[in-house]
Each structure stands twice: as C-alpha cells, then as structure tokens.
Amino acid sequence: MAEIGITKMSSKGQVVIPQEMRKDIKEGDKLLIIQGEGKLILKKATQLDENFQEDLEFARRTEEAYKRIEAGEYLSYSKEEFLKKLEKW
C-alpha cells in the first residue's frame, strides 16, 4: 500500500517531505516534479540521463512556444516568402 502524508507549502514555495517518506533521499539529491491534471508527482532524479534532461528542456521550450502561438505571437509567411527566408539560412 502507498504511504500517505500531509505537508504544506511555505510562503517561499518550500515543501517539507515528511520524515518517514524521505528515508531514500539525501541532502542534495535532485527530485523531478511532474504536474498535470491537478496532480503532482515527485520522483528521484538521480538516475536521469542527459538525454532525458534534454527532452525535458525541449518539452518546456515547446510548451512556451505553443503559449506564444495561442497568444497570436507569431509570424505568417506565404510559401514563397518562407522558401526565400529558408534560402538565407
């Protein structure tokens, strides 16, 4: 059965993991936090490889880009204009 604990966030955004739940976590260990659908998942990140961290950064940048697109912050080109710009690269 899963352990359940209650904690709260401080005014500085800090959260204390209950003592009985941090037996496998040492000071300085990195923790991965995933948020979605009203849930937070906390997982030790010590075994993450560099590719996974790059994937997370790519996902973050992609999410930011989608938000800018939804806000109308983008440029629109015709096919011809786009190909001309592409040739300059």
What is the domain range of residue 69? 49-89
Would you call 41 helix, strand, or coil by DSSP?
Answer: strand
Mean pLDDT of 10-33: 90
Taking alpha carbons only, the member of 45, 18, 41, 13 closest to residue 31 is 45
Claim to verify: residue 38 and residue 4 sit in the same structural domain? yes
Claim to verify: residue 41 and residue 57 sit in the same structural domain? no
pLDDT, position 54 = 80
CA-based diameter of the chain, in Å?
A: 63
pLDDT, position 3 = 80
Q: Position of tokens 């790519």?
A: 58
pLDDT, position 50 = 67
Claim to verify: residue 9 and residue 41 sit in the same structural domain? yes
**What are the helix (H) ranges across the chain?**
50-70, 79-88
Claim to verify: residue 54 and residue 14 sit in the same structural domain? no
Claim to verify: residue 53 and residue 36 sit in the same structural domain? no
Claim to verify: residue 59 and residue 81 sit in the same structural domain? yes
**Per-residue pLDDT reduced to its tens digit, 23-52:** 888 898 888 888 887 888 888 876 666 677
Q: In total, how many domains does the chain have? A: 2
Percent of the chain with pLDDT over 70: 93
Q: What residues contact residue 37 under an 8 Å CB cut-off, 6+ apart?
A: none
- The domain that contains 6 carries what CATH number? 2.10.260.10
CB-CB contact of 46 with 36 (8 Å) = no
pTM for this predicted structure: 0.48
